[in-house]
Amino acid sequence: MTRLRRTASAATALAFAAVATAVLGFAGPASAHVTVNPKEATQGGYARVAFRVPNESDTASTTKLEVVLPENAPVGSVSTMPVPGWTVAVEKRKVDPPIEVHGSPITEAVSKLTWTATGDAGIKPGQFQEFGVSMGPLPQVESMVFKTLQTYSDGNISRWIDEPVAGGEEPDHPAPVLTLTAASAPAGSAAPTAPAVALPDDDDDEDGNGLAVGLGVAGLVAGLAGLVLGGLAFARTRREPAAKS
């Protein structure tokens, strides 16, 4: 019985280890792909983003990064931030119709950015690097997909080119995606509303009724006072002749 229990325990431990290895093994690469940060920007505006590149290899360094800008969403102005130890090459293409930037038509747009490491500046195992880019005005589309190639010092290339599928699972080699949201309406641009009409207030009615009642009582008192004074005057006139006689 003891031997059977030990055998069962060993089998259970092996099974657990196999499941854990499989889960962790699949989770690792999925979290190490190239991404763009932040992941959202506003249509029509300018954005400063960074392509974050982790190194997946245990033995080789990342020595080159190629980022392709989407053809269906050209951007008129693209500039890169210097990265120590890396050079950047900018490729352009013709666009038709032209892109308007600050009121001026632009007939060329950046199509590809290529960063190349010099000397020992490659991204080593266990490290990552960010490549900053400023771009705009951003197009009136829902998202921009940047297909990316990551080259290692041993010649291997990771192709992050799979586009996302709405409602589907994340692909094996997802391309970096920048989601674009519509610009909010400027303050004061809301449709005018009809002026509010003042309605009678119950308190106002009560105040008006109270005032009317007060005035009525005052008038009644004044009238009674007049009658009393008139009566006194009449009585006095009657007594005066009687006294004279």
Same-domain pairing of 177 and 217: no
Same-domain pairing of 118 and 71: yes
132 — pLDDT class (breaks 50, 70, 90): very high
Number of domains in the chain: 2
Distance CA 92, CA 145 (A): 17
Same-domain pairing of 47 and 87: yes
Same-domain pairing of 55 and 154: yes
When the pLDDT of each residue in the chain is averaged and rounded to a whole number, the result is 78
Same-domain pairing of 146 and 61: yes
Same-domain pairing of 166 and 242: no
Same-domain pairing of 151 and 222: no
pLDDT above 70: percentage of residues in the chain = 62
Per-residue pLDDT tens for 106-120?
Answer: 999 999 999 999 999
pLDDT above 60 for 176: yes
Per-residue pLDDT tens for 16-65?
Answer: 444 344 333 333 334 579 999 999 999 999 999 999 999 999 999 999 99
Same-domain pairing of 146 and 213: no
166 — pLDDT class (breaks 50, 70, 90): confident
Same-domain pairing of 40 and 132: yes
Domain enclosing residue 153, as ranges: 32-181
